[in-house]
Amino acid sequence: MAKNSYKAEDIKILEGLDAVRLRPGMYIGTTSVKGLHHILWEIVDNAVDEAANGFADKISIVLYKDGSASVEDNGRGIPTDIHSKAGVSGVQVVFTQLHAGGKFDNDNYSYSGGLHGVGASVTNALSEWLKVEVYKNTVYSMEFHSYLDKETGKIKSGIPVAPLKDTKVKTTKKGTFVRFLPDKRVFETVEFNADTIIKRIKELAFLNRGLEISFYDERTNHRQTFMYEGGISDFIKYLNAGKNVLYDVPLYASTVKDNIAIEFAIQHTDNYVDSVYSYVNNIPTAEGGMHETGFRSGLTRVFNAYARDKKVLKDNDDNFIGDDFKEGLTAIISIKMQSVQFEGQTKSKLGNPEARPAVESAVVAELSELMKNKRLYKVFDVIIDKAVNAAKARLAVKKAKEIARASKSIEAQNLVGKLSACSGRKPELNELFIVEGDSAGGSAKQARVRQYQAILPLRGKILNVERKKLEHVVQNEEIRSIISALGTGIGSEFDLSNLKYHKVIILSDADVDGGHIRMLLLTFFFRYMRDLVTEGHVYIGMPPLYKVYKGNTELYAYDDKELREKIDKIGKGYQIQRYKGLGEMDPSQLWETTMDPEKRTLMQVTTEDCAEADRIITLLMGDEVSGRKDYIFEYANFNRVDSFKNIKRS
């Protein structure tokens, strides 16, 4: 248990700030908009850690008109006394020493999400200025500035303006207030995205039951507050909005096993795919890990035991497999533990082996206890009935199972006349263009570089796979062609290591039908080949809408704003061609605008928040019309390329 006293002596110093300005990408991953938000998350994480350890219950985030942002919590407050080794206040140490903080032992923080980052000092180092106030009966304040040293020509980062000052102003408040202005000399953009912040703090509020997180955007006067007494049970209800649930109230449990705090919530729907999301110390683990493996094993064990106890499974019957209980499952598993070890390419997979038995044991024990409650008998009976039907389908439709593990029938499918494969044998260099229509496909085949670019034309729209069983999905001819071309298999048998093309590029017209085709493909990839998306292999090609030309000069425009700019550039006497579809482009135009790696613009499809992506797909592709209508009216803008996130040259 973390202790209530928190002093400067508790702060461990591991490294200074010297290298942060030189190589910011090493510390925050990127200087793009994602990196910009990373320095905000460093401060937010510190506040959430105070709440997760029981010292705070309110956090406030504000975006200001001058471009700065602030985070305030009502926790213990950063230590203000003098650190014996550093000879300065704890506040100064925290904001000027890299990897300095109270989270490197377990005395002050039992659990810390902040450990995945590099601390408040990096936020300070990459800001023009930073101001901090600490409330402990009186108000302490300190400021830091980054400025150009005229003698050396280098930026001095995060330099204290003066030592920590006791203002002598009495206060009943407690906690820490931090406000900072990101440095435009570092970041590609210094404009915070309110939607990105709102999504993340809503998730944090779900994961920390009873924590109130308020948000105010001074730029738009938008104000919002999140607080969920039901915690992850409310999270489950949020994710399942628009789905047909099989029981009204999610099953929830919370316990501590082997010094790991474990909580989980589950609810089944009548869908055919599962949606399981896991977190460690409030950090999303999109690639799963030991805790998720233990969770699934525990579910399978305890539900099989229940089925045998109720004589659904006879003595000679085989057990249900995990996939039978996964069908239609929505689940959140959140653990808090010490000494977290992350694995995977994106550091979003939990590697601690001790988490697996602890979580499995907790799931078995807690669900077994819930099974003793007579009021829940119907709930567990419904879950078993769902598994029975899933098992029958699994056993009866062997063809679907064979297809699901990339069976020979699909891998050997004749794609002559469909797929124009590339000659290159290095998947990491190869690209697959999934093209709308035979006409555009023909142009793309002529335009491509055969060594590394493959073309797969689609004849019509693929099946909307939302709420479709696997055997129905794989009966769709276009989907079968995609499975065959990629070589990975689908569903539980998906294997990313067999991917033949490391760039899968959706190329469709810039109209409503093209948008629908993109959404159908993205839904299929997310539901049945999710790692293809989470590992960053899916892209959307961005064909131009216009060609502006005069004489031998040709310029392309991707939206109306850019069209006006190109008209101004080319001058009087111009002509405009409006492309209604990719099929109108000849091969040279398609290559120049959309396929040439040196000139094209690709939008990489990413899922920083898989749970939110799951909800949006259900909303847009499911059966509930009213929710989809509301979403489209609020967010849809079909004419602006700059409304997309993560547009990049590639």
Active site residues: 436, 509, 511, 513
SS (H, E, C) 154-171: CEEEEEECCCCEEEEEEE
Among candidate residues 257, 251, 200, 259, the one with its CA nearest the CA of residue 230? 251
Among candidate residues 467, 329, 317, the one with its CA nearest the CA of residue 392? 317
Cβ neighbors of 495 (< 8 A, separation 6 or more) are: 406, 488, 489
> End-to-end alpha-carbon separation of the chain, Å?
48
Cα Rg of the chain, angstroms? 27
DSSP code, position 117: S
> Nearest 5 degrees, angle CA 491-CA 494-CA 497?
165
Cβ neighbors of 330 (< 8 A, separation 6 or more) are: 236, 239, 240, 243, 266, 267, 268, 269, 274, 275, 276
Q: Determine the residue type at 46.
A: N
Among candidate residues 77, 59, 55, the one with its CA nearest the CA of residue 216? 59
Integer Cα distance of 258 and 360 in angstroms? 12
Q: Determine the residue type at 146.
A: S
Output the DSSP codes for 396-433. Answer: H-HHHHHHHTT-HHHHT---TTT-B--S---GGG-EEE
Is the CB of residue 49 less than 8 Å from the CB of residue 113? Answer: yes
**116, 348, 442, 577 from 581: Cα distances, Å:** 45, 39, 13, 12
